[in-house]
Amino acid sequence: MAAERVIHKGLDGVVVTENALTFIDGLAGKLMYRGYLIHDLAEHSSYEEVVWLLLNRELPTPAELAAFKVELAAQRAIPEGVVKLLRSLPGQANPMAALRTAVSLLSLSDAEADDNSDEANRRKAMRLIARIATIVAAFDRLRDGKEPVEPDPELSHAANFLYMLTGREPDARAARVFDVCLVLHADHEMNASTFSARVTASTLSDIYSAITSAIGTLKGSLHGGANSEVMKMILEIGSADRAERWIQDALASKRRVMGFGHRVYKTEDPRATVLRRMARELAEKQGDTDWFEISRTIESEVREQKGLFPNVDFYSASTYYMLGIKIDLFTPIFALSRIAGWTANLLEQYADNRLIRPDSEYIGPQERPYVPLAAR
Ligand code: ACO
């Protein structure tokens, strides 16, 4: 008798590969990049250090970091054709759709696009990490009728993004908060967008195609798209005294509260702990604690009613909002950090590839006689 086939809906609990990048202990609420606790990295490291760590296995020495920052900053400019494309997009274009399209176009001006060697893929990873930030900032300015701001090679990746977005150099506090956000979002084991990137690469398609798949997957509201939905919810609720009732009504009508729950974490997402603290500090510093208080009330109500904890998307929403960033840029910002994890995963996938091709259980009609068109 054939062995019974078990369906793992949503691939829940299915281990598809080994990875040497990121470890999550969902019960203990622990996350590590290459063995380093996320809280240590958020406290002490910059995004550039984390990118190096993900791509090169070890934290950089001071000399390696200095050279890497220069190398990354030198790759920030985007081809004129991509600027032209962004200029031509409709004003209402979804920023994630714009990013997906622009990354796809980037491949057409990259002579190494179809070279799948490790060396070429590392060079393309650098270009992608440097340029996605430039694309997001340029898209936002162009839709507002402003010209893109040239990247400043003297600024860190985080500070330069905020500079390209606003045309003003951010203060040190804002730049560091944003840098920590990038550190926290850089990689996260076999999440949906990383998986889709790996699926695409597993056919030996190119890195740009894989990243385009990943961006399309991150866009969805059950994944990276949740952060902007969180902010819309907070604004809709409007004041902390309305939050409890709003959540009760939402849960009673079986609505999902965005920014809560996780496939892997069954306790607090350790990234949410850092983001909550930063959101509180920003709120107190700016003397405007409304969004933070609404968030806290939502959190305690969802915890009480459903036993669910906030994920990375919950407090990143009010953090970005208080940094003055538009709500529909929250998910592209996720992408401009996660590009590090996506590309590091792709290097692993190409180095030890097997086509990813699961099965499905057929439940349609059994074999039956064909009916000619005239007889139907
Ligand atoms: N609000 C209300 N109920 C929820 C939520 C939520 N946010 N999350 C899970 N649940 C409930 C489900 O309704 C389900 O209850 P039931 O068993 O009574 O039907 C139970 O918890 C299990 O939920 P599943 O959807 O089966 O869990 P899964 O692991 O498939 O989904 C997911 C995880 C998609 C993250 C889910 O928690 C969710 O929809 N959250 C809201 C969207 C969100 O914040 N996404 C970002 C995740 S983090 C990231 O991707 C960066």
Asked if 185 and 264 sit in the same domain, the reply is: no
Query: Is 253 a member of any domain?
Result: yes
Asked if 176 and 259 sit in the same domain, the reply is: no
Residue by residue, pLDDT tens for the chain (376 residues) are: 567 889 999 999 999 999 999 999 999 999 999 999 999 999 999 999 999 999 999 999 999 999 999 999 999 999 999 999 999 999 899 999 999 999 999 999 999 999 999 999 999 999 999 999 999 999 999 999 999 999 999 999 999 999 999 999 999 999 999 999 999 999 999 999 999 999 999 999 999 999 999 999 999 999 999 999 999 999 999 999 999 999 999 999 999 999 999 999 999 999 999 999 999 999 999 999 999 999 999 999 999 999 999 999 999 999 999 999 999 999 999 999 999 999 999 999 999 999 999 999 999 999 999 999 999 9
What local confidence, expressed as pLDDT, does residue 91 receive? 87
What local confidence, expressed as pLDDT, does residue 211 receive? 98
Query: Is 36 a member of any domain?
Result: yes
Q: Ligand 1 within 6 A of 141 CB?
A: no
Give the whole-angstrom CA distance, residue 27 versus residue 218: 24
Query: Is 283 a member of any domain?
Result: yes
The backbone torsions φ and ψ at residue 188, rounded to the nearest 5 degrees and listed phi first, read: -160, 55
Query: Is 210 a member of any domain?
Result: yes
Asked if 105 and 82 sit in the same domain, the reply is: yes
Asked if 120 and 171 sit in the same domain, the reply is: yes
Residue 313 known to be catalytic = yes
Asked if 304 and 245 sit in the same domain, the reply is: yes
What local confidence, expressed as pLDDT, does residue 4 receive? 81
Q: Ligand 1 within 6 A of 189 CB?
A: no
The edge-to-edge listing of strands for the beta sheet with 22-25 is 22-25, 30-33, 36-37
- CATH at 124: 1.10.580.10
Strands in the chain per DSSP E: 22-25, 30-33, 36-37
Q: Ligand 1 within 6 A of 310 CB?
A: no
Among protein residues, the one with the nearest Cα to ligand 1's atom 2 is 256
Instruction: Decide: 122 and 55 in contact? Cβ < 8 Å.
Output: yes
Listed residues 322, 337, 370: the one ending a domain? 322
Asked if 150 and 168 sit in the same domain, the reply is: yes
Query: Is 360 a member of any domain?
Result: no
CA 32–ligand 1 middle distance (angstroms): 23
Q: Ligand 1 within 6 A of 226 CB?
A: yes
Catalytic residue among 157, 206, 262, 269: 262
Angle made by CA atoms 220, 226, 228, in degrees to the nearest 5: 110
Q: Whole-model pTM above 0.85?
A: yes
Residue 262 known to be catalytic = yes
Catalytic residue among 140, 206, 269, 313: 313
- CATH at 301: 1.10.230.10
Give how far Cα 133 sits from Cα of 119, 161, 183, Å: 23, 6, 14
Listed residues 322, 340, 365: the one ending a domain? 322
Range of the domain at 185: 22-219+326-351
Instruction: Decide: 180 and 42 in contact? Cβ < 8 Å.
Output: yes
For 6-11, the CB contacts below 8 A with 24+ separation are 7/361, 10/263, 11/195, 11/358
Asked if 67 and 188 sit in the same domain, the reply is: yes
Give the whole-angstrom CA distance, residue 226 versus residue 313: 6
What local confidence, expressed as pLDDT, does residue 1 receive? 55
Q: Ligand 1 within 6 A of 223 CB?
A: yes
Query: Is 91 a member of any domain?
Result: yes
Residue 259's region, left for phi above 0, alpha for psi from -120 to 50, else beta, is left
Asked if 331 and 198 sit in the same domain, the reply is: yes
| Ligand 1 binding pocket mutation candidate from 185, 262, 312 (most atoms within 8 A of CB) | 262
Q: Ligand 1 within 6 A of 308 CB?
A: yes
Residue 223 known to be catalytic = yes
Query: Is 367 a member of any domain?
Result: no
Listed residues 276, 301, 322: the one ending a domain? 322
CA 38–ligand 1 middle distance (angstroms): 23
Q: Ligand 1 within 6 A of 256 CB?
A: yes
Residue 287, token pair as written in the block: 């003397």
Which one-letter DSSP state was computed for residue 167?
S
Angle made by CA atoms 321, 325, 329, in degrees to the nearest 5: 110
Total domains in the fold of the chain: 2
Asked if 142 and 60 sit in the same domain, the reply is: yes
Among protein residues, the one with the nearest Cα to ligand 1's atom 41 is 258
Query: Is 162 a member of any domain?
Result: yes
Give how far Cα 328 sits from Cα of 95, 140, 151, Å: 7, 10, 22
Asked if 103 and 177 sit in the same domain, the reply is: yes
